[in-house]
Amino acid sequence: MSVECETYCWGHDPTALENLRKRTPCRSSQIETLLQLFGDAAHYTPPALFVYGHTATGKSCIINGILRSLKLPHVPVNCVECYSSRFLYEHILNNLPSTDNSTRCDNMNDFVRLLQQRIQESQLHDQTVYIVLDKAERLRDMEANILPAFLRLQELTGMNVCTIMLSEIVWEKFRFGTGFSEPYLLHFPDYSKNELLEIMNLDAPSDYPAALYGNYINLIMSVFHLVCRDLKELRHLASLNFTKYVEPIESEEATVNDFRKLWKNVEPHLKKALQTIYLREISSSQWEKLQKEQDSAAINPIPASRSHVELPYYSKYLLIAAYLASYNPVKSDRRFFVKHTAKSRTKPQRAKAKKQERASNHLLGPKPFPLDRLLAIFYSIVEGKVAPTAIIYSQITSLVSLHLLGPAAGEDQIDMPRYKCLVSLDFIKSVSRTVSFEVTRYLYDFA
Partner 1 sequence: MGKKKAKGTAKPPPLETSVKMVQSILRKRLAQMSSPPEIQGYTKERQQLFDLLKRTTVSGESNSVLLIGPRGSGKTMLLQSVLTELKEDDNIHQNLLQVHLNGLLQTDDRIALKDITRQLQLENTVGDRVFGSFSETLQFLLEALKKGSSQTSKPILFVLDEFDLFAHHRNQTLLYNLFDVSQSAQTPICVVGVTCRLDVIELLEKRVKSRFSHRQIHLFNTHGFYDFSQMCTSYLSLTPGELDATVTEPWNTHVQELVSEPSVRDVLQRQFNLNKDVRGLIALLTHPICRLSPTHPVLEAGDFLDSFKKLTTDTKSAMLHGVSILELCLIIAMKHLMDIYDGEPFNFEMVYSEYLKFAQRKSSMQVYEKPVVLKAFEHLMTLEFIRALDGSGSRVQKEYKLMSLLIHPSQIVDALQKYPNCPTEVKQWAGNSVV
Query: Please, what is the minimum distance in Å from the beta carbon of residue 401 to partner 1?
Result: 12
Q: Which one of 362, 379, 386, 437 is in contact with partner 1 (CB under 8 A)?
A: 362
Q: Restricting to residues 16-35, which ones interact with partner 1 according to CB under 8 A? A: none
Q: How many residues bind partner 1 (CB under 8 A)?
A: 75
335 binds partner 1 (CB under 8 A): no
- Cβ–Cβ under 8 Å, residues 327 and 366: yes
263 binds partner 1 (CB under 8 A): no
- Kindly report the three-state secondary structure assignment for every residue of the chain: CHHHHHHCCCCCCHHHHHHHHHHCCCCHHHHHHHHHHHCCCCCCCCCEEEEEECCCCCHHHHHHHHHHHCCCCEEEEECCCCCCHHHHHHHHHHHCCCCCCCCCCCCHHHHHHHHHHHHHHCCCCCCCEEEEEECHHHHHHCCCCHHHHHHCHHHHHCCCEEEEEEECCCHHHHCCCCCCCCCEEEEECCCCHHHHHHHHHHHCCCCCCHHHHHHHHHHHHHHHCCCCCCHHHHHHHHHHHHHHHHHHHHCCCCCCCCHHHHHHHHHHHHHHHHHCCCCCCCCHHHHHHHHHCCCHHHHCCCHHHHHCCCCCHHHHHHHHHHHHHHHCCHHHHHHHHCCCCCCCCCHHHHHHHHHHHCCHHHHHCCCCEEHHHHHHHHHHHCCCCCCCCHHHHHHHHHHHHCCCEEECCCCCCCCCCEEEECCCHHHHHHHHHHCCCCHHHHCCCCC
192 binds partner 1 (CB under 8 A): yes
Query: Please, what is the minimum distance in Å from the beta carbon of residue 237 to partner 1?
Result: 13
Which CB atom, from 53 or from 76, has the smaller least distance to partner 1?
53
268 binds partner 1 (CB under 8 A): no
Which CB atom, from 135 or from 373, has the smaller least distance to partner 1?
135
Q: Restricting to residues 33-92, which ones interact with partner 1 according to CB under 8 A? A: 36-37, 39-40, 42-47, 52-54, 57
Only one of the segments 86-94, 145-153, 260-268, 389-397 lies at the binding site for partner 1 (rule: CB under 8 A); that segment is 145-153
- Cβ–Cβ under 8 Å, residues 74 and 67: yes
Which CB atom, from 106 or from 372, has the smaller least distance to partner 1?
106
Query: Please, what is the minimum distance in Å from the beta carbon of residue 402 to partner 1?
Result: 12
Q: Restricting to residues 155-184, which ones interact with partner 1 according to CB under 8 A? A: 155-156, 158, 160, 168-173, 178-182, 184
356 binds partner 1 (CB under 8 A): no
Query: Please, what is the minimum distance in Å from the beta carbon of residue 339 to partner 1?
Result: 32
143 binds partner 1 (CB under 8 A): yes
- Cβ–Cβ under 8 Å, residues 126 and 93: no
Query: Please, what is the minimum distance in Å from the beta carbon of residue 204 to partner 1?
Result: 24
Q: Restricting to residues 212-231, which ones interact with partner 1 according to CB under 8 A? A: 225-229
- Distance in angstroms (rounded) separating the CA atoms of residues 351 and 345: 10
Which CB atom, from 202 or from 279, has the smaller least distance to partner 1?
279
Q: Which one of 31, 62, 136, 154 is in contact with partner 1 (CB under 8 A)?
A: 154
Query: Please, what is the minimum distance in Å from the beta carbon of residue 37 to partner 1?
Result: 5
Instruction: Name residues whose C-beta falls within 8 Å of residue 322's C-beta, 6 or more positions apart in sequence.
Output: 369, 374, 399, 404, 405, 419, 421
Which CB atom, from 223 or from 439, has the smaller least distance to partner 1?
223
Q: Restricting to residues 291-330, which ones interact with partner 1 according to CB under 8 A? A: none
Q: Restricting to residues 392-431, which ones interact with partner 1 according to CB under 8 A? A: 403, 406-407, 409, 420, 422, 424
Which CB atom, from 110 or from 288, has the smaller least distance to partner 1?
110
Q: Which one of 14, 97, 189, 209 is in contact with partner 1 (CB under 8 A)?
A: 189
Query: Please, what is the minimum distance in Å from the beta carbon of residue 416 to partner 1?
Result: 19
- Distance in angstroms (rounded) separating the CA atoms of residues 88 and 82: 5
Query: Please, what is the minimum distance in Å from the beta carbon of residue 301 to partner 1?
Result: 17
Which CB atom, from 36 or from 349, has the smaller least distance to partner 1?
36
Angle between helices 231-250 and 259-275 (to 10 degrees): 130
